[in-house]
Amino acid sequence: MDTMRMTLKDYPDAAIDANTFAAVSEPLRPLEEGEALFENIYATVDPAQSRRLRRYENYVPSFRPGDLIAGLSLGRVIQSRSPLFVEGDYWTHWSGWETHSIVRAPAEQGPLAQRADPAVAALTDYLGPLGGKGITAWIGMKLLGAVKPGDTVLISAAAGAVGGIAGQLARVYGASRIVGIAGGPDKCRHLVDTLGYDAAIDRHAGDIDVAIDRELPDGIDMYLDNVGGALQAVVMERMRRFGRFVITGTVAEYGLDVPPPGPNLFVTVRRGFSIHGYLATQYYDRFAEFRAEMHDYLASGQIKAGVDIVEGLDQAGEAMAGMLAGNNIGQRLIRIATDPTL
Amino acid sequence: MDTMRMTLKDYPDAAIDANTFAAVSEPLRPLEEGEALFENIYATVDPAQSRRLRRYENYVPSFRPGDLIAGLSLGRVIQSRSPLFVEGDYWTHWSGWETHSIVRAPAEQGPLAQRADPAVAALTDYLGPLGGKGITAWIGMKLLGAVKPGDTVLISAAAGAVGGIAGQLARVYGASRIVGIAGGPDKCRHLVDTLGYDAAIDRHAGDIDVAIDRELPDGIDMYLDNVGGALQAVVMERMRRFGRFVITGTVAEYGLDVPPPGPNLFVTVRRGFSIHGYLATQYYDRFAEFRAEMHDYLASGQIKAGVDIVEGLDQAGEAMAGMLAGNNIGQRLIRIATDPTL
């Protein structure tokens, strides 16, 4: 049997597009003891992957031409030589953009590799609110952002995979005003109508500083920065004393070979606030606590999962390019095979 | 009776020097009810004052030509029409670079205006470790830096008014390694021999990044940034996960009309640390707690006050220019009159 994989064709000189990737077919070797064969159903399409498509040094190594585009997938066990992986069970696992994966059952896969029980939550939830984006939002809003009743909260890329969950968590934690920034009227409507944001700012419509002053006239207690870029300086000038400016990533800068400078940091002194950056991997010891909390929120309907599904592994390159252009709402997934639980 | 005051002559086009200031003599008006007349003994010379000597907008308004150089002073009450101010008592009070001050006794002077008891501590201590620089160091190391046993700590401008106290506080809180950055061999010796730093880095001698790697090969848990500038990016690349990068001020940038950009902040994500800026005024509700703690440390000898005294109000301009050039060790004071307790 073969697996079909999407690989890096070559480092793009400019924007990432479908031509950045090449589809290759490879025969699967026999399973060894402790391994299982997965038929994959979904794979994630993430900004973090896009960083690894660039030639320059990074906090995780770049892919090399020919490499599988690695990431978190969800599949069904179709053959197993591991007592952990029962045939017919669903698991999220670290492999990437491929139809079939041979997976060893190691503890070091980390907490994001988890059994997915379709009786408890949709399979896609395990790659969305119960996955890396869910814990990223939770760390940002709860552990570092420490959102509490009465806070004013601003979230950038608010219709994205992290932002959509983060805004709903801010509501759970009692924020008095939650404003999201997103690109375009459809996303802005989604923020208010579906996700329960109090207001949305369309970053394509008018000056963003004016819009922030209009929507948050008394300043910002907590900002979740999903984008980086020039917006950082604009928001910092509007932080309230003892505010928390929390950075999950800087997707606006990921296409640049040389990272741009940041704001002059005397603003943190004048305005008396903190900046906190993090990766979810730095907080995996909190995963069980996160997972229990998120299961409750999904069950009660306090958090609605947002997933954005692109059909077909052969569309993965387009799915990535489109996400970098900002056309997804929620966690973008590629559907590689039919989801038998639907 | 006259008061002799040092005022701003005009905004300097380049470096601040003695010519930035003008001495003027003014007659004192009679006291009103609720006021006292002070003969001043000491006045502080502070980087924060230097920011106000510039034309550009600031977080506190600039001085205007002709204005008294305002700041914290210590004087003796020589006439009083206030029940608060007893003749012969010593007080720190907000006035500035002048021989005599008429002071109203208002609550809004804030906690730094305090009675100074020479039986408890040297008068100069009330402008040093018990004053604004003491609480600045304490907020940085205890409240925001949260220094705990085993931490590695780096402090810039370590021989300055804040840095000298901060390094000693790091020892009190159990840091395992405390390294200070200062300019020149005299200051470096002072850090190790007098203040108990484990090591000192002379910023004039060789590459500072190499020196930091040598003295702190496993990275930095807590950094107290007294200077800003290019050193910020160097230190950020060496922060440990969950580290605290705490900014008290950015004196290296105070002479610049346009603040330079800061480091790209994705480093906070990659390395998982926080940045926290503050002004002591934002934490004055903690002053009583600070004062009690600092009194104990002074009494037990755990903290040694460092004051650096320049003789004569007429030398105040030179004292400021010299401090900005980095030639002070500890809190710089001008002695305006003989200290009768010495």
pLDDT for res B159: 93
Residues B237, B157, single domain; the answer is yes
Cβ atoms within 10 Å, residue B255? 15
Residue A234 has pLDDT above 70, yes or no: yes
In chain A, where does DSSP find H-type helix? 47-51, 132-138, 161-172, 185-193, 208-215, 231-236, 266-271, 287-300, 316-324
Residue B13 has pLDDT above 70, yes or no: yes
Q: What is the rounded CA–CA span in Å between residue B57 and residue B55? A: 7
A24 interfacial to chain B (CB closer than 8 Å):
no
B177-182 vs B199-202, strand pairing mode: parallel
Q: Which residues of B touch A277 (CB under 8 A)?
A: 265-274
pLDDT for res A210: 97
Length in residues, chain B: 342
Residues A315, A224, single domain; the answer is no
Does A300 reside within a domain?
Answer: no
Does A295 reside within a domain?
Answer: no
Confidence of residue B57 (pLDDT cuts 50, 70, 90): low
Residues A143, A273, single domain; the answer is yes
Residues A64, A105, single domain; the answer is yes
Chain B: give the shortest CA distance to residue A81, in Å.
Answer: 37
Cα A201–Cα B259–Cα A245 angle in degrees, nearest 5: 40
Q: Which residues of B touch A48 (CB under 8 A)?
A: none
| Residue range B298-326, pLDDT digits in tens | 999 999 988 899 999 999 999 999 998 88
pLDDT for res A57: 67
- A276 to B275: CB separation less than 8 angstroms, yes or no: yes
**Which is higher by pLDDT, A47 or A164?**
A164
Q: Facing residues of A44 across strands?
A: A333
Residue to test with chain B: of A274, A285, A286, most B Cβ within 10 A? A274
Residues A114, A12, single domain; the answer is yes
ipTM value: 0.92
Q: What is the rounded CA–CA span in Å between residue A47 and residue B321? A: 50
**Which is higher by pLDDT, A324 or A238?**
A238
| Residue range B165-216, pLDDT digits in tens | 999 999 999 999 999 999 999 999 999 999 999 999 999 999 999 999 999 9
Residue A277 has pLDDT above 80, yes or no: yes
- A275 to B276: CB separation less than 8 angstroms, yes or no: yes
Confidence of residue B51 (pLDDT cuts 50, 70, 90): confident
A251-273 average pLDDT score: 88
Q: Which residues of A touch B241 (CB under 8 A)?
A: 282
Nearest to A171 by CA among A144, A188, A148: A148
Confidence of residue A305 (pLDDT cuts 50, 70, 90): confident
Nearest to A335 by CA among A3, A42, A96: A42
A274 interfacial to chain B (CB closer than 8 Å):
yes
pLDDT for res B58: 67
Residue B55 has pLDDT above 90, yes or no: no
Q: What phi and psi, each to the nearest 5 degrees, are found at residue A193?
A: -80, -40
pLDDT for res A99: 98
| Residue range A111-147, pLDDT digits in tens | 999 999 999 999 999 999 999 999 999 999 999 999 9
A167-183 average pLDDT score: 97
Residues A67, A117, single domain; the answer is yes
Residues 6+ apart with CB under 8 A from A257: A54, A55, A56
Residue A256 has pLDDT above 80, yes or no: no
Does A255 reside within a domain?
Answer: yes
Q: Are B266 and A277 in contact (CB under 8 A)?
A: yes
B228 interfacial to chain A (CB closer than 8 Å):
yes
Q: At what angle do helices B161-172 and B287-300 cross, to 10 degrees?
A: 80
B107 interfacial to chain A (CB closer than 8 Å):
no
Q: Which of A266, A274, A275 sits opposite B265 (nearest CB)?
A: A275
3-class secondary structure per residue, chain B = CEEEEEEECCCCCCCCCHHHEEEEEEECCCCCCCEEEEEEEEEECCHHHHHCCCCCCCCCCCCCCCCECEEEEEEEEEEECCCCCCCCCEEEEEEECECEEEEECCHHHCCCCCEECCCCCCHHHHHCCCCHHHHHHHHHHHHHCCCCCCCEEEECCCCEHHHHHHHHHHHHCCCCEEEEEECCHHHHHHHHHCCCCCEEEECCCCCHHHHHHHHCCCCEEEEEECCCCCHHHHHHCCEEEEEEEEECCCHHHCCCCCCCCECCCHHHHHHCCEEEECCHHHHHHHHHHHHHHHHHHHHHCCCCCCEEEEECHHHHHHHHHHHHCCCCCEEEEEECCCCCCC
Percentage of the residues of chain A whose pLDDT score is greater than 70: 99
Q: Which of B268, B276, B277 sits opposite A277 (nearest CB)?
A: B268
Q: Which residues of B touch A269 (CB under 8 A)?
A: 59, 247-250, 277-279
Q: At what angle do helices A287-300 and A161-172 cross, to 10 degrees?
A: 80
Q: Are B116 and B187 in contact (CB under 8 A)?
A: no
B249 interfacial to chain A (CB closer than 8 Å):
yes
Closest-approach residue (CA) in chain B for A259: B264
* Two tokens, residue B340: 């009768």
Tell me the residue range of the domain where A111 lies.
2-128+305-335
End-to-end CA distance of chain A: 26
Does B293 reside within a domain?
Answer: no
A229 interfacial to chain B (CB closer than 8 Å):
no
Confidence of residue A58 (pLDDT cuts 50, 70, 90): low
A253 interfacial to chain B (CB closer than 8 Å):
yes
A329-337 average pLDDT score: 95
Does A287 reside within a domain?
Answer: no
Residue B106 has pLDDT above 90, yes or no: no
How many beta-carbon contacts under 8 Å exist across A and B? 114
**What is the CATH classification number for the domain harbouring B8?**
3.90.180.10
Closest-approach residue (CA) in chain B for A145: B274
B70-96 average pLDDT score: 96
Chain B: give the shortest CA distance to residue A73, in Å.
Answer: 23
- Compute CA distances B7 → A115, B51, B71, whole Å: 73, 15, 12
Using DSSP's 3-state secondary structure scheme, residue A152 falls into strand
Does B253 reside within a domain?
Answer: yes
Q: Facing residues of B94 across strands?
A: B72
Chain A: give the shortest CA distance to residue B280, in Å.
Answer: 10
Residues B199, B264, single domain; the answer is yes
**What is the CATH classification number for the domain harbouring B188?**
3.40.50.720
Q: Which of A232, A247, A264 sits opposite B259 (nearest CB)?
A: A264
Q: Are A250 and A229 in contact (CB under 8 A)?
A: yes
Length in residues, chain A: 342
pLDDT for res A154: 98
Residues A197, A252, single domain; the answer is yes
Residues A98, A153, single domain; the answer is no
* Two tokens, residue B226: 């007294």
B64-75 average pLDDT score: 96
- A274 to B275: CB separation less than 8 angstroms, yes or no: yes
A262 interfacial to chain B (CB closer than 8 Å):
yes
Residues B217, B92, single domain; the answer is no
Number of domains present in the structure of chain B: 2
- A262 to B265: CB separation less than 8 angstroms, yes or no: yes
Does B342 reside within a domain?
Answer: no
Chain B: give the shortest CA distance to residue A86, in Å.
Answer: 36
Q: Facing residues of B294 across strands?
A: none
Residue B18 has pLDDT above 80, yes or no: yes
Closest-approach residue (CA) in chain B for A230: B264
B82 interfacial to chain A (CB closer than 8 Å):
no
Chain B: give the shortest CA distance to residue A12, in Å.
Answer: 22
The conformation of residue A267, written as its DSSP 8-state character, comes to H
Does B288 reside within a domain?
Answer: no
Cα B123–Cα B184–Cα B11 angle in degrees, nearest 5: 65
Closest-approach residue (CA) in chain A for B261: A264
* Two tokens, residue A339: 């989801």
Confidence of residue A294 (pLDDT cuts 50, 70, 90): very high
pLDDT for res B14: 87
Nearest to A131 by CA among A280, A338, A326, A296: A280
Residues A275, A139, single domain; the answer is yes
- B249 to A265: CB separation less than 8 angstroms, yes or no: no
Closest-approach residue (CA) in chain A for B236: A277
| Residue range B246-298, pLDDT digits in tens | 999 887 787 677 889 999 999 999 999 999 999 999 999 999 999 999 999 99
A277 interfacial to chain B (CB closer than 8 Å):
yes
Using DSSP's 3-state secondary structure scheme, residue A244 falls into strand
Residues A137, A101, single domain; the answer is no
